[in-house]
Amino acid sequence: MKNDTGKGWTRRAALSAGGLGVLGAAACAPKIEARSSVPTSGSFQHGIASGDPLSARVILWTCITKGGGSVRWEIASDPEFAFVVKSAEMAVAGGKTVPVKVDVHGLKPATEYYYRFIRGENISMTGRTKTLPVGNVDQVSMAIVSCSNHPAGYFHSYAHLAKAESVDVVLALGDYIYEYGLGGYATEFAEELRRVPEPKHECVSYDDYAKRYAQYHRDPDLQAAHAVAPWILTWDDHESANDSWKGGAQNHDASTQGPWAARESASLKAFYDWTPTREPQNGLPLTANYRRFDFGNLASLTMLETRLSGRSEPITFDQFPVTDDADPNDKEVQEKLRIFEQEVLGDPARRMLGDKQSEFVANALQTSVAGGQKWQIIGNQTLFAEIRSPDYMKTLPAWLKWIVKRSEPSYYQYFQRSRLNPLLNLDSWDGYPAARERFYNKAKEAGANLLVVTGDTHDFMAADLKDRKGNRIGTELGTSGVSSPGNFAYVSAPGVNFGELTEKKNPDLLLHDTKYTGYIRMLVKPDEVLADFISTSDVRQVNWSAKTEYSFVVRSGELVKN
């Protein structure tokens, strides 16, 4: 793949990695080979990380292989550690793999630091972190990542993020791990890639989730990406179980997997143990992972939690009120669809955020605007924008429908249902329209300059956000997956662009790309946000390339494709 370095604010990022001999590699590399591994001996086989930065604090993380005894951490103003500004020795619990976290206080704002861990003769790799700024801020750079599925392929996005020019912070918007066992979603190439899930079964217990995180943290690209910048993480569903909500999940079976509360608790403990994330304070439960970060007078970042603390049970297309082959012109069919959307999905009692989080978000937006911050950024898990499915039965070629009908019956059912003008994804905010409208009302009341960044879909997207009356509320930018396959990855359809079909159906949707894995790099300035959508080559090939596939400029009241 030829690198496109002629557009976007991150063209230097593509050039910087090119000198290392990786960006020019062909996407169609020969036979899959195991990628070189991280250290297989010593105390720090799972890397290091930093996260949840504040103006004077940051979380440092590592994992000790074969625990017991103590470990020393150091944070310095230079990568050679000639000027160590903070350090301490801390006890390490016994065990085979023991995560270690420390919340370092007393740092200076807007300052780049370097950190490491020392245990006996073992010294960890060096990490770079940065505290948040205060006062006048000209710009902040961010990377947006989501959906890193280890058995699905290599983490090329993490590799590019590590080799490109540094960002101030990485926002990880969920699906940092996947809970499925071998034979589950996106594991069909796991054995060939030598990325078989550990454990091989689906994660249910704390030990299961901890082993899965440990496997991810042995990935060299994930380790490298963690080492270059502080991360701000939230979970989506796969850190616990697919399509999870406040009281359960789509693929949780209490009769064989035990109570949901026990599984949820295990997954939450593992998340906090294995990521550089600060646990909720003031007696809040572990599910209350919503929080705010301030970048001086430039922007506030409010990270949402839309799975475990308040989400109502999802309504799925299994509850669709008519058959997939129903006549869209039939009056009775139309009335059933109206009731389904307006009264079932649109029930005001259905929630995405609990009461405490709703109050927290409203206050965050109001105080951000009142404090003169230029942007109110929302870190979000599932799509906000209303998106309807195009009529695939009209727009797709006959040969493709014929093949899909015989080889992929579930897709064909989806194609048939598309004649009925359905919403694209009921697991997103489209499945909770009243909750979305309440959120929009909070943004309008605050006068927010709203920018939502979203994960989950494995697709690149960019959209104008509008309320039910058509008023523009803000902008949404959605990142593709680091390695998770796109929604049409299993449909061979040369010459068919599913994303463009969706764009044509939805006028407020400026981009819907289903083809690429990748991530987003954003440069936030007072008057505009520049966003580059970085695509990566085939995640099933060791060698990789990356390029700026799309660029957008976001201004107050405007989203423009660059």
pLDDT(389) > 80 = yes
Token pair of 514, please? 């289903």
Check whether residue 161 and residue 175 sit in a common domain: yes
Domain identity same for 404 and 438: no
| Under 8 Å between Cβ of 66 and 43 | yes
Determine whether 495 is exposed, middle or buried from the number of CB atoms within 10 Å of its CB (0-12, 13-18, 19+): exposed
In terms of residue numbers, what domain contains 480? Answer: 1-31+140-307+350-388+428-562
In a domain, 154, yes or no: yes
Does residue 200 lie within any of the structural domains?
yes
Question: How many Å apart are CA 452 and CA 381, to the nearest integer?
Answer: 10
Predicted pLDDT at 492: 84
Task: Identify the band that residue 1 occupies on the pLDDT scale cut at 50, 70 and 90.
Answer: very low
The answer to whether residue 149 scores a pLDDT higher than 70 is yes
* 487 domain residue, yes or no: yes
> Which amino acid belongs to residue 415?
F
Domain final position from 96, 131, 166:
131
Q: Of the residues 131, 149, 184, which one is the last residue of a structural domain?
A: 131
Q: Tell me phi and psi for residue 519, to 5 degrees.
A: -155, 175
What pLDDT is attached to residue 41? 83
Residues 191 and 291 in one domain: yes
Question: Across the beta sheet with 472-478, what order do the strands follow?
Answer: 291-295, 299-303, 375-380, 450-454, 472-478, 460-466, 509-513
pTM exceeds cut of 0.75: yes
Given 131, 160, 190, which residue is the final one in a domain? 131
Q: What is the pLDDT of residues 56-101, one digit of tens each?
A: 999 999 999 999 999 999 999 999 999 999 999 999 999 999 999 9
Name the strand (E) or helix (H) holding 534: strand 529-536
Residue of 260, 242, 236 whose CA lies nearest to 180: 242
Running DSSP on this structure, what letter comes out for residue 410? H
Question: Pick from 471, 477, 474: which is nearest to 521 by CA?
Answer: 477
- Is 522 found in the same domain as 511? yes
- Same-domain status, 321 and 302: no
Report the pLDDT averaged over residues 247-253: 96
pLDDT, tens digit (0-9, with 9 covering 90-100), for 16-27: 333 332 222 333
481 and 531 both lie in a single domain: yes
Is residue 99 a contact partner of residue 63, using CB atoms and an 8 Å limit?
yes
What is the pairing mode between strands 48-51 and 84-91?
unpaired
Q: Is residue 41 part of a domain?
A: no
The reported pLDDT for the residue numbered 372 is: 98
Do 156 and 277 fall into the same domain? yes
Q: What is the pLDDT of residues 268-288, one digit of tens each?
A: 999 999 999 999 999 999 999
CATH of the domain at 239: 3.60.21.70
Q: Are residues 295 and 333 in the same domain?
A: no
The pLDDT value given to residue 10? 62
**pLDDT over 90 (residue 514):** yes
Number of domains the chain contains: 3
DSSP 176-202: SS----TTSTT-TTHHHHT---SSSSP
Non-local CB neighbours of 164 within 8 Å, separated by 6+ positions:
10, 13, 14, 16, 17, 521
40 inside domain = no
Question: Pick the residue with more confidence: 32 or 460?
Answer: 460
Pairwise CA distance, residues 550 & 538, whole Å? 18
- Residue 63 belongs to domain with CATH number: 2.60.40.380
- Distance (Å, whole) CA 223 – CA 50: 11
Shared domain check, 287 and 248: yes
Task: Answer yes or no: do 407 and 275 share one domain.
Answer: no
My answer on whether 328 and 367 are in the same domain is no
pLDDT of residue 263: 98
The reply to whether 254 falls in a domain is yes
Average pLDDT along the chain: 93
For residues 485 and 414, state if they share a domain. Answer: no
- Give CA–CA dist 89/103, Å, rounded: 13
pLDDT band (50, 70, 90) for residue 9: low
Q: What is the C-alpha separation between 5 and 21, in angstroms, rounded?
A: 16
- The string of pLDDT tens digits covering residues 471-508 is 999 999 999 999 999 888 888 888 899 999 999 999 99
In tens, the pLDDT along 193-228 reads 999 999 999 999 999 999 999 999 999 999 999 999
4 confidence band (pLDDT: 50, 70, 90) = very low
Q: Is the omega angle on the peptide bond into residue 199 within 30 degrees of 0, that is, cis?
A: yes
Q: What is the DSSP letter of 55?
A: S
